[in-house]
């Protein structure tokens, strides 16, 4: 915890600093508002003790400036004058407390600690609210790869090491990043996420670093960047492989020096945030092609976590489906108790090229349209992902779902299509729903094809 004490009386500043040091609290002192402004711009503080009456810029003016500039840390106003109007003005301007001189140091310390704890809790609540809006904690499972990842997150909990998370889209990279944050020593700080590929290149730098008022046309007030917003917590840089080359240089400098400079600013600011980056690209290939800086890659690749696609941990599909269903029941006010064995089997046969995100999408549609207490096979709307010739879940790794027909040379398209239908129906013992799904056509279309070809199946 670090506190700023702003008072024009030197003896009061020094007494408060010595007392806070005995309490294990670091502090800086400023003799007036202008000195305080410089310190606030250079150092992240957890709270401020601010005298009301000072020459030049007084405490109320400084408080107004802080709130206008976006500084949110709690402020306790201190005054030797019991003016009710000053107290009311201070609280309206954004102070959290007001105390009169002379004061009891123990009482001041207690109030200070409570205010800082309350601010930490507020940051945590906001962070968790964003987490529940952005994504659910779906990184569950019993697959060996999942257990390894959980072990890694536990081992790096007390380390500020930079982490690189790789994996296909939809595998849960942000979920793992949030898990790392929640297990770490920074868990009471904010979790700030940005999708690099989702921000226009001309805006990305200002989003990350912030800017000063007047830095460019339209910069009518200071903007706090994401590096600052994540102070004391975690900054998650999703899709880092999409970062423009010019910004890669600046990110490298931040990782080396742990300081940033806002656009249009002249003062570098310290940052105290863990950096977690993620990508669905192979950064080694991008380094070889020159699209990604090699030195930045090594800075990011301190701890590497590779998330397997869902099709490589099929045993976890039932656990994930149950977790998703429980959440959807809460959100939608439904009371669906589970999935039928046929529905679960249908999910486990699915290829899931969209990974966990696709599973969530399928489950959400099923919950919306399910008419019974249990999700059935017919409730699962899985479209166009298992097509003729595509690798299926049952035959993953063994080549095409439909190997070449014996004596297929010279067959007409109609004969090949009829043979594929017969083979699929035999494989599924006449179950037309499953055969249609495997063939990538609707059940009604399959029935019409059977009648059209005069198949006796």
Write out the chain in H/E/C secondary structure.
Answer: CEEEEECCCHHHHHHHHHHHHHCCCEEEEECCHHHHHHHHHHCCCCEEEEECCCCCCCHHHHHHHHHHCCCCCCEEEEECCCCHHHHHHHHHHCCCEEEECCCCHHHHHHHHHHHHHHHHHHHHHHHHHHHHHHCCCCCCCCCHHHHHHHHHHHHCCCCCCCEEEECCCCCCHHHHHHHHHHHCCCCCCCEEEEEHHHCCHHHHHHHHHEECCCCCCCCCCCEECHHHHCCCCEEEEECHHHCCHHHHHHHHHHHHHCEEECECCCCEEECCCEEEEEECCCHHHHHHHCCCCHHHHHHHCCEEEECCCHHHCHHHHHHHHHHHHHHHHHHHCCCCCEECHHHHHHHHHCCCCCHHHHHHHHHHHHHHHCCCCEECHHHCCCCCCCCCCCCCCCCCCCCCCCCCCCCCCCCCHHHHHHHHHHHHHHHCCCCHHHHHHHHCCCHHHHHHHHHHHCCCC
Q: Please give the share of the chain, as a percent, with pLDDT higher than 90.
A: 31
Task: Label residue 412 by pLDDT band (50, 70, 90).
Answer: low
- pLDDT at position 209 is 93
Question: Cis (ω within 30 of 0) for the bond into 263?
Answer: no
Tens digits of residue pLDDT in 133-163: 444 455 788 889 999 999 998 898 788 899 9
Q: What are 220's two structure tokens?
A: 């009518």
Please give the average per-residue pLDDT across 230-254, as a whole number.
Answer: 94
At 118 the pLDDT is: 63
Whether 407 shows a pLDDT value over 50: the answer reads: no
Q: What is the mean pLDDT of residues 391-409?
A: 37
- pLDDT for residue 214: 87
| Predicted confidence (pLDDT) at residue 418 exceeds the cutoff of 80 | no
Who wins on pLDDT, 250 or 451?
250
Q: Given a cut of 80, is residue 393 above it in pLDDT?
A: no
Domains and CATH numbers, the chain: 2-121 (3.40.50.2300), 144-308 (3.40.50.300), 311-385 (1.10.8.60), 397-457 (1.10.10.60)
**Percent share of the chain, pLDDT over 70:** 86
Q: What end-to-end distance do the CA atoms of the chain give, in Å?
A: 76
pLDDT > 50? residue 77: yes
Q: What pLDDT, on the 0 to 100 scale, is given for residue 166?
A: 96
Q: What is the reported pLDDT for 79?
A: 83
CA atoms lying within 13 Å on the CB side of residue 51: 24
**Region 404-421: what's the mean pLDDT?**
58
Q: Rounded to 10 degrees, what is the CA torsion of 357, 361, 367, 368?
A: 150
Q: How much is the pLDDT for 222?
A: 84
More confident of the two residues 229 and 198: 229
The mean pLDDT of 201-225, rounded to a whole number, is 87
pLDDT at position 142: 85
For residue 182, give the nearest of 126, 227, 133, 124 by alpha carbon. 124
Instruction: Identify the band that residue 390 occupies on the pLDDT scale cut at 50, 70 and 90.
Output: very low
What's the pLDDT at 28? 93
Q: Does the pLDDT value for residue 309 go beyond 90? A: yes
Q: What is the pLDDT of residue 194?
A: 92
Confidence class for position 290, pLDDT limits 50, 70, 90: very high
What's the pLDDT score for residue 21? 87
- Please report the pLDDT score of residue 117 as a whole number: 66
List, in sequence order, every residue forming a beta bridge with 338; answer none if it has no partner.
374
Task: Report the C-alpha gap between 259 and 269 in whole angstroms.
Answer: 5
Q: Quote the longest CA-to-CA distance of the chain.
A: 102
Across the beta sheet with 303-306, the strand order is 191-195, 234-238, 274-279, 163-166, 303-306
71 vs 234: CA distance, rounded Å: 19
Can you give the pLDDT at residue 396? 36
Please, which residues bridge with residue 263 across strands?
Answer: 211
Mean pLDDT over each residue of the chain, to the nearest integer: 82
**Mean pLDDT across the stretch 203-212?**
91
Predicted confidence at residue 80, as pLDDT, reads 78
**How do strand 210-211 and strand 223-224 relate by DSSP bridges?**
antiparallel
Among 241-245, 354-358, 361-365, 387-391, the least confident range:
387-391
Residues linked to residue 77 through DSSP beta bridges, in sequence order:
50, 98
Alpha-carbon distance of 373 to 322, in angstroms, equals 14
Higher-confidence position of 450 and 123: 450
8 A C-beta contact, residue 76 and residue 99: yes
> Does the structure show a pLDDT above 90 at 4?
yes
Residue 264 scores a pLDDT above 70: yes
Residue 109 banded pLDDT, cuts 50, 70, 90: confident
Best CA proximity match to 71, nearest among 227, 223, 272: 223
* pLDDT (mean) for 324-339: 87
From 30-44, 117-131, 180-194, the region with the lowest mean pLDDT:
117-131
Q: Can you tell me the mean pLDDT for 118-143? A: 54
Identify the pLDDT of residue 82: 65
Express each pLDDT in 268-286 by its tens digit. Answer: 889 889 999 999 999 999 9
Between 423 and 396, name the one with better pLDDT: 423
Lowest mean pLDDT: which of 16-30, 214-228, 320-334, 437-451? 437-451
Q: What is the pLDDT of residues 341-379, one digit of tens each?
A: 888 888 888 888 889 989 999 999 999 988 888 898 889
């Amino acid at each position: 915890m670090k506190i700023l004490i702003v008072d024009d009386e030197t003896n009061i500043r020094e007494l408060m600093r010595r007392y806070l040091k005995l309490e294990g609290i670091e502090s800086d002192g400023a003799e007036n508002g202008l000195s305080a402004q410089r310190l606030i711009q250079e150092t992240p503080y957890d709270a401020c003790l601010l005298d009301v009456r000072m020459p030049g810029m007084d405490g109320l003016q400084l408080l107004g400036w802080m709130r206008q500039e976006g500084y949110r840390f709690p402020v306790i106003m201190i005054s030797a004058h019991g003016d009710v109007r000053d107290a009311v003005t201070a609280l309206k301007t954004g102070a959290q407390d007001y105390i009169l001189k002379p004061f009891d140091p123990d009482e001041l310390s207690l109030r200070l600690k409570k205010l800082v704890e309350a601010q930490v809790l507020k940051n945590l609540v906001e962070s968790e609210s964003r987490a529940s809006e952005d994504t659910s904690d779906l990184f569950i499972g019993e697959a060996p790869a999942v257990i390894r990842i959980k072990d890694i997150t536990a081992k790096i909990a007390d380390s500020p090491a930079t982490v690189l998370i790789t994996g296909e889209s939809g595998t849960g990279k942000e979920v793992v990043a949030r898990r790392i944050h929640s297990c770490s020593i920074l868990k009471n700080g904010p979790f700030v996420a940005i999708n690099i590929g989702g921000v226009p290149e001309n805006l990305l730098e200002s989003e990350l670093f912030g800017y000063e008022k007047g830095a460019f046309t339209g910069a009518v007030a200071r903007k706090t960047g994401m590096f600052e917003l994540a102070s004391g917590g975690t900054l998650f840089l999703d899709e880092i492989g999409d970062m423009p080359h010019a910004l890669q240089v600046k990110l490298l400098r931040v990782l080396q020096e742990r300081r940033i400079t806002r656009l249009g600013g002249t003062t570098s600011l310290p940052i105290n945030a863990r950096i977690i980056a993620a990508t669905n690209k192979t950064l080694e290939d991008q380094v070889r092609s020159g699209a990604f800086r090699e030195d930045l890659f090594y800075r990011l690749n301190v701890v590497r976590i590779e998330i397997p696609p869902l099709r490589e941990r099929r045993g976890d599909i039932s656990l994930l489906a149950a977790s998703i269903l429980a959440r959807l029941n809460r959100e939608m006010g439904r009371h669906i108790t589970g999935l039928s064995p046929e529905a679960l089997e249908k999910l486990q046969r699915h290829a899931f090229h969209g990974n966990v995100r696709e599973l969530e999408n399928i489950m959400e549609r099923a919950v919306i349209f399910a008419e019974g207490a249990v999700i059935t096979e017919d409730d699962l709307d899985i479209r166009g992902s298992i097509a003729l010739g595509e690798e299926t879940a049952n035959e993953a790794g063994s080549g095409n779902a439909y190997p070449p027909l014996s004596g297929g040379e010279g067959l007409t398209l109609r004969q090949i299509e009829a043979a594929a239908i017969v083979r699929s129906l035999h494989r599924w013992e006449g179950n037309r729903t499953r055969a249609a799904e495997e063939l990538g056509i609707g059940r009604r279309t399959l029935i019409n094809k059977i009648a059209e070809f005069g198949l006796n199946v």
